[in-house]
Amino acid sequence: MMNIQFQSITVNEITLNVASAGDLEGEPIILLHGFPEFWYGWRKQIEPLAKAGYHVIIPDQRGYNQSDKPIGRRAYQLDELRDDLVGLIESIGKGKVTVMGHDWGGAVAWHLATTHPELIKRLITINIPHPAVFPKVLLTSPMQWIRSSYMAFFQLPEIPERFLEAGDFSYMSEALKMSSNPGTFTEADLELYEASWRQPGAMTAMLNWYRGMPQSIKSMDLDVEVTVPTKMIWGVGDHFLSTKLAKESQTLLRNGEGVFIGGATHWVHLEQPELVNQHILSFIK
């Protein structure tokens, strides 16, 4: 990858480790990673976006890698995660920004778009439904219940941590490889992920994103439309999330579109980066 700079930025009473690349005077685009990644999860998007003239900004979200890890599940409710992003946008000081999120990062981006649309120029989500859609689809899709069963396991105290940390995080590494196309995650990639998982308090903090979800959904407006220009990108072979979630999310877009990519999984931006990057660049241009 090209030269990447790092800085610590204090927002919402915590400090985030933030990676950045590209022209500091370029239009800012914030990339939000999901579970169980960190800024490195966007390794195949950083250079193309920076070379296109954008200022690429990628925080380790709270609880991950080098960022602060506040205690307790309440610290990981969507409003708190969104407010981290609000603070980051304000620290940039350039008004509206483009925000792109994958997995949990996309959930934060969706929530920002529905509660603070004045901060977003464009929204891009990758294999993550609008958070309000999830409970609706669960009511009518037994298969999605099965796919989401791991989320119920993650609600338990302490046991998930011991399970995921066992054998030098062997289950975590295997889960990434088994849920993606062959070769998506190299051994060198996994070594970097494992180093981030070993940070003190990281595993509990990462799981607290899931543990904060029930209360987040209870407080969410389930019928709010997304008014900002939106592009949804979805790998149809997602092992965790059905395309029904994507289609239902599209009904909440007032100014948006979705693209489904075959031969790809939940990790479509790493498996077919050239195609995904083309979609991203054509949309934000």
279 is a catalytic site residue: no
Nearest to 150 by CA among 36, 13, 246, 16: 36
266 is a catalytic site residue: yes
Contact in structure between 163 and 171 (CB atoms under 8 Å): yes
Kindly name the residue from 130, 266, 269, 279 that is annotated as catalytic. 266
Nearest to 73 by CA among 134, 130, 155: 155
CA atoms within 13 A on the CB side of 184: 23
Kindly name the residue from 210, 238, 269, 279 that is annotated as catalytic. 210
23 is a catalytic site residue: no
d(CA 33, CA 135): 22
- How deeply is 253 buried, as exposed, middle or buried, from its count of CB atoms within 10 A (0-12, 13-18, 19+)? buried
Kindly name the residue from 33, 103, 193, 269 that is annotated as catalytic. 103
- How deeply is 43 buried, as exposed, middle or buried, from its count of CB atoms within 10 A (0-12, 13-18, 19+)? middle
d(CA 285, CA 49): 11
Phi, psi of 15 (to 5 degrees): -115, 130
Helix then strand then coil, % of the chain, to nearest 5: 45, 20, 35
Nearest to 185 by CA among 199, 173, 171, 170: 173
Phi, psi of 218 (to 5 degrees): -60, -35
Residues recognised as catalytic: 103, 210, 266
